[in-house]
Chain A
Amino acid sequence: MYDFDYLRPTTVADAVALLAQRSEAKFLAGGQTLLPTLKQRLAQPEAVIDLSRIAALQGIREDGDALVIGAMTLHADVAASALVLRVIPALAALAGEIGDRQVRNRGTLGGSISNNDPAADYPGAVLGLGATIETDRRSIAADDFFTGMFETALDPGEIVTSVRFPVPQRAAYRKFPNPASRYATAGVFVARTVDGVRVAVTGAGATVFRVPAIEDALAADFSPAALTGITVDDDGLNSDIHASAAYRAHLIMVLARRAVAAIS
């Protein structure tokens, strides 16, 4: 790892200011992606700004018909939260299946979605639930947030402060984990909400995406049988040593049926 200045602000404003002062600096959330990246010398920031001691980025609370989770909340804490388990159990279950125990004890919600790894789990829940990403300067709808592989709508120096998840009527997430990394070979998040059905797919494409054909079918008939005959075009899906695009397209429908079966 190349050396860098380690900085540890205690307020969001200080973190933003520190980043602006440096020509090349990185925010450090849980570090479960950034630190391996630095160890491989794939990045050489002049400064690393640790967000872990900023109290305003912590915590889980209920706010009206939404669950608000601070950006630096650990996966393990979301998975074990009595509040999340009661209000959006599918979200707790998803967090409990990310990586392994040690990754869940360090990795954070804000870090995961800001990194937007195409195989990460959290983008599935954020898009599937139609969440709103709160940053230090604005609110961004999930539908506008995930813009491409490892790309988001965040501006340089913008910090995710929390994510506001509207509480669905029912929701479920099913994934086919890579047996070594636990990343999603494909993962499908299905949510029934007062505004309709939302279906988000992670792991299969360049970034998380919705599948209108599945949403429409489930809006008409919320049952696994309603998905019979629906296929996902494999054009543009990921193809690698773990799974071909055609296999991922197949997995999406299998996982969608499993998720629907879990909540119907």
Chain B
Amino acid sequence: MPTVTITVNGNTVSRAVEGRTLLVHFLREQLGLTGTHVGCDTSQCGACVVLVDGRSIKSCTMLAAQADGREVTTIEGLAAADGTLHPMQAAFRQHHGLQYGFCTPGMVMSAVELARTTPHLTEQAVRDGLEGNICRCTGYHNIVKAILAGAEAMQVEPVAQAAE
């Protein structure tokens, strides 16, 4: 079995995996990071979205072996060590951007990439950017509101940190 070395949420881990092991199963079953969900398992719903080298991808449609040497960020890697929520997580809470929440980790991870890569997010850009994330509660209205607010907070935050 190939051995993979992947930096997950800042921690570098090495594990033997089968060739067929999907990244999502590596994260959930080998590392116990169950915040990344398996929804449809057909690369449509986006509940399994994580960041690989900063890009959002569906971890049910990537082999763990393909992530060898890469940096992976999951929902568990967003909050600060003291538990302070990432601005996008805080915005989802404030704007009630979830109903039963199964899609939420994937939504938040997609939103983080969207906010980082799109300078002036509009509502339409958020809706287009969420094409790969499905909310079965159809609670998109508050999700979009949360992402717009979270993106704004992410723009502000680096300035605030620099001022400290």
Q: Mark A141-179, 1 if CB is under 8 A from B, else 0.
A: 000000000000000000000000000000000000000
The answer to whether the Cβ of B164 comes within 8 Å of any Cβ in the partner chain is no
Contact with A along B50-69 (1 / 0, CB 8 A): 00000111100111011010
B71 beta carbon closer than 8 Å to chain A: no
* Contacting residues, chain B, for A99 (C-beta < 8 A): 131-132
Q: How far is the CA of A106 from the CA of B49 in the complex (A)?
A: 12
**Chain A residues positioned under 8 Å from B44 (CB to CB):** 180-181
Q: How many residues of A contact B (CB 8 A)?
A: 28
CB distance B66 to A31 under 8 Å?
yes
How far, in angstroms, from A233 to B106 measured CA to CA in the complex?
A: 44
Complex Cα spacing A2 to B21, Å: 10
The residues of A that contact B139 with a CB separation of less than 8 Å are none
B101 within 8 A of A: no
| B residues near A36, Cβ cutoff 8 Å | 42-43, 61
Are A103 and B43 neighbours in the complex by a CB distance under 8 Å? yes
Within 8 A of A (CB), among B1-42: 2, 18-20, 22, 41-42
> Contact flags (1/0) for A20-45 with B, using CB distance below 8 Å?
00000000100110011011000000
Question: A124 → chain B, closest Cβ, in Å?
Answer: 19
A5 partner residues in chain B, CB cutoff 8 A: 19
B152 within 8 Å of A (CB atoms): no
Q: In the complex where A101-B113, A102-B49 touch, is A32 in contact with B55 (Cβ < 8 A)?
A: no
A62-90 residues with Cβ-Cβ distance < 8 A to B are: 76
Q: Does B114 contact A6, Cβ atoms closer than 8 Å?
A: no
Is B77 an interface position by the 8 A CB rule? Answer: no
Flag whether B110 is at the interface (Cβ < 8 A): yes
Given the known A-B contacts A36-B42, A101-B56, A103-B132, are A3 and B19 also in contact in the complex, defined by CB atoms under 8 Å? yes
Most buried by B among A6, A31, A102: A102
Nearest A residue (CB) for B59? A102
Check B19–A182 contact: CB distance below 8 A.
no
Q: Is the CB of B63 within 8 A of A102?
A: no
CB-defined contacts of B131 to chain A, threshold 8 Å: 99-101, 182
B122 vs chain A, min Cβ distance (A): 16
User: Is there an interface contact between B20 and A4, defined as CB atoms closer than 8 Å?
Assistant: yes
A43 to B100, CA, bound (A): 36
A102 touches B18 (CB 8 A): no
Question: Assuming the A-B contacts A101-B114, A180-B44, are A35 and B19 also in contact, with contact meaning beta carbons closer than 8 angstroms in the complex?
Answer: no
Per CB-CB distance, the 8 closest pairs between chain A and chain B, nearest first, are: A100-B132, A6-B19, A100-B131, A105-B55, A1-B20, A102-B132, A6-B65, A102-B58
Q: List 13 A-B contacts (CB under 8 A).
A: A1-B22, A4-B19, A5-B19, A6-B63, A35-B22, A36-B61, A39-B41, A48-B19, A100-B46, A100-B131, A102-B43, A102-B56, A181-B44
